Amino acid sequence: MSGLTIFSDNDATTALWQSRDAEEIKAQLNAQGVRFERWAADRELGAEPDAQTVIDAYQHAIDRLVQEKGYQSWDVISIRPDNPQKAAMRDKFLNEHTHGEDEVRFFVEGAGLFCLHISDKVYQVLCEKNDLISVPAGTPHWFDMGSEPSFTAIRIFDNPEGWIAQFTGNDIAAGYPTLA
């Protein structure tokens, strides 16, 4: 189940606000300019669908975003516990960074933890199956896929070159809860 926990950016021990209600999460994030939605496939995906099957099942929702925001490209990423690069990827994503474009992710299955550093707060968003999050360009954040990652997500980009990060050098992520 999706979740949002809000912390002060100088105290990771005490939650200021917490919910697992999708509408409450959406309201809190929208107030910060962060898009949070729930999507549904227009067909059954079956076991272990290939990337094109995933795209085809959500093309209606992708097209809506493309029309609204002008995104230029999209792809599917799947990370599994047996990925030999999982530790290096996790370490990289756990460093606070920004992007020159929105970071848009839709979770087809599995989970990931987006941590957004907005003003004087940290918004930890547990995204699970059917969750879409769009982190606005320039928003400092980090992502935790867990020590044994298992997720499939659609990534949607403004930039056809894909994921390009500018690391902030802030070590804030080290002090906050991670995904098991």
Q: Is 159 exposed, middle or buried (0-12, 13-18, 19+ CB in 10 A)?
A: middle
Run of H or E residues at 118: strand 103-118
Cβ contact 75:131 at 8 Å: no
- Look at residue 48 in the predicted model and tell me its pLDDT: 83
Could you tell me the pLDDT band of residue 35, with boundaries at 50, 70 and 90?
A: very high
Read off the pTM: 0.94
Query: What is the secondary structure of 121-143 as a DSSP string?
Result: EEEEEEEETTEEEEEPTT--EEE
pLDDT tens digits for range 117-176: 999 999 999 999 999 999 999 999 999 999 999 999 999 988 766 668 899 999 999 999
- Look at residue 166 in the predicted model and tell me its pLDDT: 93
CB atoms within 10 A of CB 180: 8
- Look at residue 84 in the predicted model and tell me its pLDDT: 97
pLDDT tens digits for range 77-116: 999 999 999 999 999 999 999 999 999 999 999 999 999 9
Could you tell me the pLDDT band of residue 20, with boundaries at 50, 70 and 90?
A: very high
- Look at residue 46 in the predicted model and tell me its pLDDT: 83
Q: Is 156 helix (H, G, I), strand (E, B) or coil?
A: strand
Nearest to 154 by CA among 104, 106, 101: 106
Query: When comparing pLDDT for 46 and 70, which is higher?
Result: 70
Mean local confidence (pLDDT), 59-79: 94
- Look at residue 102 in the predicted model and tell me its pLDDT: 93
